[in-house]
Structures are given as C-alpha cells and as structure tokens.
Structure 1
Amino acid sequence: MPKLITLTEPRSAAAEALRALRTNLMFSSVEKPITTLLVTSCAQSEDKSTLLANLAVTFAQSGNKTILVDSDLRRPMQHDIWGVPNERGLTTMLLEDAAMSSPPLAQTEIPNLALLPSGPLPPIPADVFSSQRMNDVIGVLRARAHYILFDSPPVLAASDAALLGSKVDGVLLVIRAGQTRRDQAAR
C-alpha cells in the first residue's frame, strides 16, 4: 500500500509541501475558485494516485468536505490505497439512477474525506467522460462537498484526462523528477 505521508509523517517536508500545494490551489483564483480538480500525469508510474490521496487528506484536514473520485477507469488505485471495496462507485452512478440520489461513497478514517471508487470498469472509458451523465455526476458531487478531486489516467495514455479536464475547474499535471521527459510534459 502506498504511503500516506500526510498521516504517517505530518511534520515532514513532503507533508508540508502538500499543504502548501493545497493552499495555493485553494487561493489560486479569486474570481473562479477551483473546487473541482483533476490530477493526472504524463505516463504511468509517476505516483499521481499517491500524491492525490495525500493531497485529499490535506484538503479534508483544512476542515472542508472533500470527495476523492477515482476516475482512472483503466487502472484504478484509490480503492487499494484506502482499503475499500470497488464493486460500486463512479461507474455505478453513471449507470444507475438510484446511485445518483445516494452516491456509493466510502467514508475514510479521515474526517471530511469520502472516496468514490471507480466501480466496475467500462469497455470504453472515454465514452463515459464525454457523456452528459458525467456532468450530472459532477453536479451531484458538488452538492455534497466543497472540493471534488479526480484521479485520472495519464494524459499521454488515453483521452480520458482531456475529456474530464474540460468539465472541471482545474487540472494538475504530476511530473516525476528524473523520469518525466520535458517533451512529454510539454504535450
């Protein structure tokens, strides 16, 4: 299981850097605050899911209701990070009307932080994100929390991040020092 450094080492430089990132995101735009954020990377193995799990903890610790959505419908990781089942989740909300009125959120041990796992994986994930129903899901989640944070597949691997990125207030691209090539990040 990846390390949630914001919990295990809250006074570390890494945990402090995550809190600084959270603060910068919270106050980055006065006219249009970022309340929905997509986190992606250029390629796999850049630890975007672990970074996002830690970032979600910092948002929740600031006293704001936060929902972490595993919208990586190709290689979901958040249910493993948090140790929750993945039978129901985002895809359930996209398919079942009942799940829209009662979203299958998993409460974490962190006050103010809930997880919406990916749920069963669809055959063509990109179709999910271009649908009107995805807009509806985002609206339902906005009514339940102040911040909605989306974990997305890598941007160079699939169009999912670009499609979902057009529906949120901001996008954070995670790059790994010494691994992510400059030309990849520029794309």
Structure 2
Amino acid sequence: MARKKQSFKKQLEQRARKLVVSANPRSVVSEQFRTLRSNITFSAVDKELKTILVTSALPGDGKSTVSANLATLFAQDGKRVLFIDADMRKPTVQYTFSLTNAAGLSSVLTQQRLAGEVIRESEISPNLHILTSGPIPPNPAELLGSRSMTLLMNEMAQQYDLIVFDAPSVLSVTDAQILANKVDGTLLVVNTGVTEKDNVDKAKELLGNAKARILGAVMNNFKLDNDHYYYQYYGTEE
C-alpha cells in the first residue's frame, strides 16, 4: 500500500512539473510561458491563428511540455481551446492530464468514433478540451494527411477559438511536416545546449519545404544566472 501511495505521489509530482502554469503559476517558468503566449498573440495581427502546431527537431526536446502548458494558458485566458495529441507514435497527453487513451484521434480518423464522443473537458479549466491520440495505428502519417483529418480540423475550427497540436519531432518522422502544411502556425522547440545547430537548421529546412508558417523557436531549458530554467521565445521575421 505504501508503494502505491508513493507511486501515485510521484505521478502527481510529474504531472505538476509538466503543467507548471497550473501547479505553480507564479514561477519564473510560468511567467515565460505567459510571455510566449503574448508573443504568439502579437504575431497574429494580420492573420488570425486558429491552429498551432508544436514540434521539435528531435525527441526529448520538450515539445509536449511546451504544447500542454501553452494550451492551458490560452484556455485560462478565456479562449475555448482544443488540445490534440497528434503524436500517434509515442503519445503522452493522456499522462499529462490523467486521462485514458482507449479512444482518441486515431479512432476519429478511422471513423470508429465521432469527435464529440472522445473529446474530454480538462479538470484544469472548463475552456480546455483534450483529444488524446487514441490507439497507436500502423499508418500515423497517412491518417494525418488524410481527408478525414482535414474535415476534422475544419469542424473543430468552427467550435473552438484555438486548436493546439502536439506533433512528433521533425527529424524522426514526416508527421510534423504533414500537419505543418495544414495549420496556421508552427512553433519549433529546441533543447538548449543539447540539440545541435545542424539539427535545428535541418528541421527548419524541412518545415520550410512543407510550406509551414514558422512562428518562432522556443528555447527550452535556457539557463539564467540565478539558476532558474525557463523557456525563451525567438520569433522569425516574415
């Protein structure tokens, strides 16, 4: 019983670290996420951003943490937000929000379930709704590039103010490039001091080839002099 309690406590701690804007809203990291939200909002002066893709060059750069906190912040700001786990290879959103993943995006795209049946309201905010990845399919890239995906995005855009996608890393599979071509803007997460510049350049090149609108780069684990870690945003020039 003691081990179970310790395991549950560890899960809660891990969840809190991932959703820092909810667990510790006054922290330095949360403040930087709010700055990121503001910068994204300012970048949408000429064109409304209804769909945002968050990806990275390589796995482990922190794109899932960034996308989850960003979606949560926009919801806290009053927007009706749908957060979609489009990483149908190594999904994590169900863990971050303590949800089951028996059905989700893959179920909708293969027409086994309706979107309204599997989208769930987050306990964190009534404005935040979650669509987990669903069972891992054999053909994630094909599903993301399908007509069903386009129809789903169009349908959800009518119901939500903002849709945030957590996508696989760019250099691992083609999924992010496929989605980047469909969304209004893309954020590239870079793990400072870990991700090599050549990989970042290659990821940016691939997104450019997909005709993605790159909003900017998020520097994850950027270290300040006072030993606080936070997320720094660098916008791109049009």
Q: Tell whether the structures are fold-level matches, with TM greater than 0.5.
A: yes
Asked if 1:84 is matched to 2:83, the reply is no
Find the counterpart in structure 1 of residue 121 from structure 2.
107
Higher strand share: 2
Question: Normalising by the residue count of structure 2, what TM-score does the alignment of the two structures yield?
Answer: 0.75
Match of 1:65 among 55, 75, 80: 80
Match of 1:171 among 186, 189, 203: 186
Match of 1:180 among 190, 195, 200: 195
Alignment of 1:8-157 (within 5 A): 8-96=23-111, 99-100=114-115, 102-109=116-123, 110-157=125-172
| Contact 2:97 2:122 (8 Å CA) reproduced | yes
CA distance, structure 2, for counterparts of residue 33 and residue 21 of structure 1: 16
Structure 1 runs (4+) deviating above 2 angstroms are: none
1:94-144 C-alpha deviation (Å, 9 max, x unpaired): 1227504x2511111122001100011110211111111110010121122
| Contact 2:85 2:166 (8 Å CA) reproduced | yes
CA distance, structure 1, for counterparts of residue 153 and residue 170 of structure 2: 20
Q: Which has the higher contact order (CA 8 A, sep 6+)?
A: 1
| Contact 2:107 2:113 (8 Å CA) reproduced | no
- The letter for the 1-side match of 2:90 is R
- The letter for the 1-side match of 2:49 is I
Tell me, which stretches of 5 or more residues in structure 2 are unaligned? 1-13, 203-238
| Contact 1:65 1:147 (8 Å CA) reproduced | yes
CA distance, structure 2, for counterparts of residue 162 and residue 114 of structure 1: 24
- The letter for the 1-side match of 2:122 is T
User: Residue 191 of structure 2 aligns to a residue in which SS?
Assistant: coil
Tell me, which stretches of 5 or more residues in structure 1 are unaligned? none
CA distance, structure 2, for counterparts of residue 97 and residue 87 of structure 1: 12
Higher Cα Rg, which structure: 2
Q: Aligned pairs, how many?
A: 186
1:124-182 C-alpha deviation (Å, 9 max, x unpaired): 21111111111001012112210100000000000000001100000100001111110
| Contact 1:93 1:103 (8 Å CA) reproduced | no
TM-aligned CA distance change 1:152 to 1:113, over 3 Å: same
CA distance, structure 2, for counterparts of residue 103 and residue 50 of structure 1: 26
Using the aligned pairs only, state the percent identity.
38
